[in-house]
Amino acid sequence: MVLPAFDILKKDSAALVWVEAVQDLELAKQRIRELSARSHGEYVIFDQRTRQIVDRCTAPTPAS
């Protein structure tokens, strides 16, 4: 059994909120692209092994 190594978090006004965990970095990058297309905001990928943020994606705010 392979345990997820990367957490996907969404940044809100006060903190980072856990969204889901995935097994590899490429899948994590794909998921934040999908998530940011549906919900604006900043998403980060956190590597559980190194305890570091390894990537981030900021979805544009919808035009008014």
- Give residue-wise pLDDT tens across range 31-43: 998 998 888 889 9
Domain spans in the chain, listed from the N-terminal domain onward:
6-59
pLDDT above 80 (res 62):
no
pLDDT band at 24 (very low <50, low <70, confident <90, very high): very high
Write out the H or E segment, with its range, that includes residue 26.
helix 25-38
Average pLDDT, integer, range 43-54: 95
pLDDT on residue 8 = 97
Give dist(CA 29, CA 13) in Å, integer.
Answer: 22
Quick one: 63 exposed, middle or buried, by C-beta within 10 A (0-12, 13-18, 19+)? exposed
Average pLDDT, integer, range 28-32: 93
Q: Which two tokens stand for residue 16?
A: 């980072």
CA 46 vs. chain centroid, Å, equals 7
Give dist(CA 23, CA 48) in Å, integer.
Answer: 10
